Amino acid sequence: MAAEGGDFLEGQPDRVDEAYERWQLRHLQLTHYRVNELGDIQTEMPQHGGLTDIGAEVIRRCNRLGVVVDVAHGTFDLVKRAASVTTKPLILSHTSLTGAPRAYTRLITADHARLIAQTGGVVGVWPPQSVFPDLSAMAYGMARMADVVGVDHVGLGSDMMGLVGSSVFDSYRRLPELARALLGAGFSPADVGKVLGGNYARVFATTMS
């Protein structure tokens, strides 16, 4: 079970334990499209200066229980504190790189991505057609991310049911096409396996241990 946003916790860290036991929560995205008790989001004015003390406690509980911590939608300041708190790898499940950061963008800078990699984590590259016109462009976007953080820290951030616009990857039946595009972008077969699931599996196993 995964949750996109910790809003259901209502600022009560012990609800992580309840969700773990009762609903088998194993992946928690701290924030989504609302500034909540855990921290700030990229698409709204910051209110907390990043991750709150409650958010830090939620991360500690996730680390202890074995719940993957996902910092997608969180601000750079949130990610900086999350990286300083966590003892397990972080996931940033769906985004892509930008060389020209602006206010309220969901895209991230190279420094933002490197923070995730420094925890041993993974950045998932997502497929909006507004960012990548086709699968080949997406594969090269993944290659750019690998140049920044290393291939061991890149994943597929499909956001399959979350995009409001068109997606260049709208079905897992297209995985073979994406795999071919990644090979064309210079990834080795072994590295394609890492990007299309192996890296996340490693983070998941590390978090469980």
Q: What is the pLDDT of residue 146?
A: 98
Q: What is the pLDDT of residue 102?
A: 86
Residues 159 and 197 in one domain: yes
Q: What is the pLDDT of residue 162?
A: 79
Residues 203 and 181 in one domain: yes
Residues 106 and 143 in one domain: yes
Quote the number of domains for the chain: 2
Q: What is the pLDDT of residue 17?
A: 98
Mean pLDDT, the chain, as a whole number? 96
- Distance in angstroms between the alpha carbons of the first and the last residue of the chain: 18
Residues 84 and 107 in one domain: no
Q: What is the pLDDT of residue 121?
A: 98
Q: Identify whether the C-beta of residue 50 lies closer than 8 Å to the C-beta of residue 78.
A: yes
Residue range 133-162: average pLDDT?
95
Q: Identify whether the C-beta of residue 1 lies closer than 8 Å to the C-beta of residue 8.
A: no
Query: Binning pLDDT at 50, 70 and 90, where does residue 161 land?
Result: confident
pLDDT tens, position by position, 23-74: 999 999 999 999 999 999 999 999 999 999 999 999 999 999 999 999 999 9
Residues 81 and 97 in one domain: no
Q: What is the pLDDT of residue 101?
A: 83
Residues 10 and 29 in one domain: yes
Residues 79 and 139 in one domain: no
Query: Binning pLDDT at 50, 70 and 90, where does residue 165 land?
Result: confident
Share of the chain above pLDDT 90, in %: 94
Residues 113 and 19 in one domain: no
pTM for the structure as a whole: 0.96
> Domain range spanning residue 163?
93-209
The domain boundary residue, chosen from 34, 64, 88 = 88
Q: For position 162, which CATH number holds?
A: 3.20.20.140
- Looking at the DSSP assignment, which residues form a beta bridge with residue 158? none
Extract the tokens encoding 169: 């990857």
Q: What is the pLDDT of residue 85?
A: 98
- Residues near 54 by beta carbon (within 8 Å), at least 6 away in sequence: 11, 13, 37, 38
Residue range 192-204: average pLDDT?
98
Q: What is the pLDDT of residue 55?
A: 98
Backbone φ and ψ of 124, nearest 5°: -90, 125
The domain boundary residue, chosen from 41, 66, 88 = 88
pLDDT tens, position by position, 63-81: 999 999 999 999 999 999 9
The domain boundary residue, chosen from 88, 110, 142 = 88
Residues 83 and 154 in one domain: no
pLDDT tens, position by position, 90-146: 999 999 999 888 889 999 999 999 999 999 999 999 999 999 999 999 999 999 999
* Residue 86 burial (CB count, 10 A): 20
Residues 144 and 124 in one domain: yes
- Looking at the DSSP assignment, which residues form a beta bridge with residue 29? 4, 70
Bridge-based pairing of strands 27-29 and 2-4 is parallel
Residues 78 and 168 in one domain: no
Q: What is the pLDDT of residue 163?
A: 82
Bridge-based pairing of strands 68-70 and 122-125 is unpaired
Q: Which residue in the block uniquely carries the two structure tokens 């978090």?
A: 207
Residues 106 and 182 in one domain: yes
Residue range 192-199: average pLDDT?
98
